[in-house]
Structure 1
Amino acid sequence: MQPRDLSDHVAYEAGRGIEEVARELGRDPSDFVKLASNENPHGPSPAAAVAIRETASSVSSYPKAVHADLRSAVADRWEVTDEQVWLANGGDGAIDYLHRATVVPGDTVLVPDPGFAYYGMSSRFHHGGVREYGLEREDDFAQDAETVLEAYDGDRLVFLTSPHNPSGSTIPLADVETLADATDDETLIVVDEAYGEFADRDSAVALIEGRDGFEARDDVAVLRTFSKAYGLAGVRLGYAVVPDEWSDAYARVNTPFAASELACRAGLAAIDDDEHVERTVGTARESRAYMRENVDAHVWESEGNFVLVDVGDGSVVADEMQERGVIVRDCSSFGLPGCIRITCGTDEETERAVATLNDVLATLDLERDSTDGTDDSSAEVADT
C-alpha cells in the first residue's frame, strides 16, 4: 500500500527556529535572534497569554461555545454576520476550506509568483491545477489588475496577497474590484490580508459588504490571521470573511471544531487588545524605515512586518548572518535566490540585523575583490 502520487507536491519550507539552528551549530540559543518567520517581536497579546493559562484546565471539553463566541467577535469587528466568518486552524486552514468549497477536479487556481507556496499546495491536495501570474522585481513587485488579467484563463480561484509576501507590496481595492468585474461569474477573488494590520490600506471586506463607495459582491473573500499582529502564530488561528451567499457552505467543509479551545480563548482576548496591536504595528513601521535607510543594499518598500533585500546571493548571505547569530530567510524557495527577507524586530534586533548584514556584505565584497585580483592600491596605481 502506497500513498497516492504526490510527485507534483512540494513540501512547505518554514523559517528555521533558534533551537534548531543552535543545535546544528553547537551554540547556545541565547546567541541568536530569529528574524526569519515574520513573527511578532513582542510575543503574544498579554491578554491572550492570560486567557491561555486560565483555559488550560478546561481543554478536556470540545470548543463549541467559544468557537461561536469568537466567530461573533470577529463578525462584530468587521460588521458582517457570524455566518460570514469561517474560523480555521491558521490562515492556511481557511485556504483549505475555500478550496473545499469551490474546486473540483479539472479546475485551476491562479496564484502569484513569487508567493505563498500553500496556495498551490492546497489546490493540488484538492485535485485542482495551479497556474501563475508573475510579479516582477524590475517593477518592484507592483500589483495591479492588468498583471493578473493577462494570466487569467477562467480560473476558479484567484489569489491576491496584500501585503504581498515576500515583497511587501499591496494592491489597491479599485484593482480588486476591476478583477472581480472582469473575471467569470464562477471565479472567486481571494485577498490574503495576513499582514493587513501593518498596511496603510483599507481591507477588501469593504468590497464584500459594499462600503466606501463599492457595490456589495458575492465573488470576493478575505483571509486574515491572528498569527502576526496579535502574536498567536503558535496556537494556529485564522479565518476567512466570505460573502453572505457563502454562509451555509462552512458547516459542510470545515473540520469539526475548526479551532481549538486554547486558540479560540486566545483569539477572544487578543481581538480586543488594541494596545498590543498598535505597539506591534508601530514597531514594524519603525523597523522597516530603519532598514531602508541603513542597509547597504537595495531594500524594497514594504507594508508588511518584513522587508525584502537584494543581496546578490541570498543563500550565502543568510548562512553568513546565521553564523553571526542573526537568522533571516533565504528567498530561494520563493524563486528569488538573490534576496533575503528580514522580519521587523525590536529596535535592538533590527539594529543588530542591519549591522550584521552590512558587515557580511562588506566581507563578501572584499573576498570578491581579492578573488578578482584587485584591491584599492592597484586601482590607485592604474589611475595614475
Structure 2
Amino acid sequence: MQTRDLSEHAVYRAGEGSEEVARELGLDPDDLVKLSSNENPLGPSPAAMTAIREAASEVHVYPKSAHTDLVAAIADQWELTPSQVWLANGGDGALDYLSRALLDPGAAVLVPEPGFAYYGMSARYHHGRVRSYSLRAEEGFTQSADAVLDVYDGERIVYLTSPHNPTGTVVDLADVERIAEETNEDTLVVVDEAYGEFAETPSAVRLVEGREGWDAREDVAVLRTFSKAYGLAGLRLGYAVVPEPWAGAYARVNTPFAASTVACRAGLAALDDREHVERTVESAVWAREYLESELDTKTHESEGNFVLAKVSDATAVAEAAQRRGVIVRDCTSFGLPECVRVSCGTREETERAVSVLNEVLAG
C-alpha cells in the first residue's frame, strides 16, 4: 500500500529548538539564546498562565463554551459578528479552513516568494495548484499591488503577508484594496497578519467590515494568531476574519473542537491583558532597532518581531553562531541562502546575539 503522490508537497522546516541544539552540541539548553522562531521572549501573560492552570479541571469536557466565549471576545474586539471569526488550531488551521471552503480540485492559489511555506502546502493538501509572485531583494522586498497583478491569472486565493515573514515588509491597505478590486469576483485576497500587532500599518479587517473610510468587501479575509504577540505559540491558537455573507461556511469546513479548552481559556485571558501585549511590542521595537543599528551587516527594515540580515553564507553563519550558543534562522529554506533571520529577544538576548553574530561575521 502507498500514500497518494506527495512528491510535489513541500516540507515545512521549523527553526531548531534549544533542546535539539543542546543535545547536538552537548550544551546546556539554559546557556542557549534561541532567536530562530519569532517567539515571544516575555512568554505568555500572567493572566493566561492563571487561566491555563484553572482550565486543567475542564479538560475532560469538549470546549464548546470556551470556544463560544473566545469567539465572542474576538468579535467584540474587531466589531464583527461572531460568525465572521473562524477559530482554529493555530493560524495554519485557519488557512486549511479557507482552503476547504474555496478550493475545488485543481484550483490555484497565488503565494509570495519568498514566503510562508504553508500557504502552498495547504493548497496542495486540498488538491489545489500553487503559483507565486516574487518579492525582490534588490527592491527591498517591497510589496505592491503591481507585483501581484502582473502575474495574477485568475487564482482562487491570493495570499499577502503583512508584516511579511521573513523580510518584515508590510502591504498598504490601498494595495490590498486595489488587488481585490482588480482580481476576479471569485478570488479571495487573504491578508496574513500573524505579526500585525508589531506593525503600525492598520489591519485589513477595516476592508472586511468597511470602516474608517474603506468600502466593505466580500473578497478579503484576514488571518491572525495568538502565537506571537500573545505568547501562546505552544497552545496553537489562531483565527480568520471572513466576510459576513459567507461566514456560515465555517460550520461545514471546521474540524470539530480543533481549539482546545486550555487554548481557548488562555486566549481569552491573553486577549484581555493589553499591558502584556504592549510590553511585548515595546520590547520587539527596541530589539529590532538595536539589531538594525548594531549588526555589522546590511539589514532590511522590519515591522515584525524579527530582522532579516544579509550574510555571505547563511548556513555557515547560522552554524557558527549556534556553536557559540545563539540560534538564528538560516533562510536558505526560504530561498534566501545569503540571509539569516534574527528574532527579537529580551535586551540581554538581543545584545548577546549581536555580539556573537558580529564576531562570526568578522571571522
TM class, shorter-length: over 0.9
Matched position secondary structure for 2:337? coil
* Distance in 2 separating the partners of 1:274 and 1:58: 25
User: SS at 1:138's partner residue?
Assistant: helix
For residue 272 of structure 2, give the secondary structure of its aligned residue in structure 1: coil
2:222 aligned with 1:228, yes or no? no
Q: Which runs of 5+ in 1 are unaligned?
A: 364-384
Q: Which residue of 1 aligns with 2:237?
A: 237
Task: Indicate yes or no: 2:298 matched with 1:298.
Answer: yes
Task: Report the equivalent of 1:320.
Answer: 320
Letter in 1 for 2:35: L
Name the structure 2 match of 1:207: 207
Larger Rg: 1
**How many residue pairs get matched?**
363
* Counterpart in the other structure of 2:136: 136
Aligned to 2:161: 161
CA–CA separation in structure 2 for the residues paired with 1:358 and 1:27: 22
Is 2:257 the partner of 1:257?
A: yes
Describe the SS at the equivalent of 2:184: coil
What stretches of structure 2 of length at least 5 have no aligned partner?
Answer: none
Letter in 2 for 1:278: E
Distance of 1:208 and 1:28 partners within structure 2: 48
Task: Name the counterpart of 1:100.
Answer: 100
Q: Percent identity?
A: 67
Q: CA deviation at 1:27?
A: 1.2
- Partner residue in 2 for 1:346: 346
AA paired with 2:187? T
Task: Check if 1:271 corresponds to 2:268.
Answer: no
156-165 or 4-13, which deviates more: 4-13
Looking at structure 2, the residues matched to 257 and 292 of structure 1 have their Cα atoms a distance apart, in angstroms, of: 42
Distance in 2 (alpha carbons) for counterparts of 1:316 and 1:49: 38
Q: How many Å apart are 1:45 and its aligned residue?
A: 1.4
**Could you say what secondary structure the match of 1:271 adopts?**
helix
TM-score, normalised to structure 2's length? Answer: 0.99
Computed over aligned residues only, the root mean square deviation of the Cα atoms, in angstroms, reads 0.5
**Deviation digits for residues 64-93 of structure 1 (CA, Å, limit 9, x no counterpart):** 011011000000000000000000000000
Show CA shifts across 1:245-288 (max 9, x none).
12110000000012000000000100010000000000000001
Report the equivalent of 2:193.
Answer: 193
How far apart, CA to CA, are the structure 2 residues paired with 1:163 and 1:33?
24
Query: 1:26 offset after TM fit, Å?
Result: 1.1
Q: Which residue of 1 aligns with 2:284?
A: 284
- Give yes or no for the alignment of 1:109 onto 2:115: no
Partner of 1:42: 42
Per-residue Cα deviation, 1:299-340 (whole angstroms, up to 9, x for no partner):
100000000000111000000000000000000000000000
The structure 1 segments of at least 4 consecutive aligned residues displaced by more than 2 Å after TM superposition are: none
> Aligned partners of 1:332, 1:32: CA distance in 2, in Å?
22
| 2:81 is aligned with 1:81 | yes
Q: Secondary structure at the match of 1:72?
A: helix
The whole-number CA distance in structure 2 between the counterparts of 1:9 and 1:147 is 25
What's the secondary structure of 1:340's corresponding residue? strand
- Partners of 2:109 and 2:213 lie apart in 1 by 29
Amino acid at match of 2:186: E
Of 23-32 and 65-74, more deviation after overlay is shown by 23-32
Mapped partners of 1:109, 1:208: distance in 2 = 20
**For residues 139-192 of structure 1, what are the alpha-carbon distances to aligned partners after superposition, in whole Å with 9 as ceiling and x for unaligned?**
010001011001100000000000000000001000000000000000000000
Residue aligning to 2:122: 122
- Please state whether the residue corresponding to 1:62 is helix, strand or coil: coil
Q: Deviations over 1:352-383 (max 9, x none)?
A: 000000000001xxxxxxxxxxxxxxxxxxxx
Distance 1:165 1:234 in 2: 19
Q: Secondary structure at the match of 1:41?
A: coil
Q: Could you tell me which residue of structure 2 aligns to residue 67 of structure 1?
A: 67
Return the alpha-carbon distance in structure 1 between the equivalents of residues 28 and 180 of structure 2.
51
Which digits, 9 at most, give the CA deviation of each residue in 1:101-134, with x for residues without a partner?
0001121000000000000000000000000000
Q: Which amino acid is the alignment partner of residue 312 of structure 2?
A: G
Say which SS state the counterpart of residue 151 (structure 1) adopts.
Answer: coil
**Residue type of the alignment partner of 1:347:** R
SS in 1 for 2:178: helix
2:261 partner amino acid: E
Could you tell me how far 1:58 is from its partner in structure 2? Answer: 1.3
Q: Distance in 1 between matches of 2:54 and 2:257?
A: 20
TM-score, with structure 1 as normaliser: 0.94
Aligned to 1:17: 17
The amino acid across from 1:200 in the alignment is E
The reply to whether residue 7 of structure 1 matches residue 7 of structure 2 is yes
Aligned-partner residue type, residue 218 of structure 2: D
Partner of 2:246: 246
Q: Distance in 2 between matches of 1:58 and 1:245?
A: 34
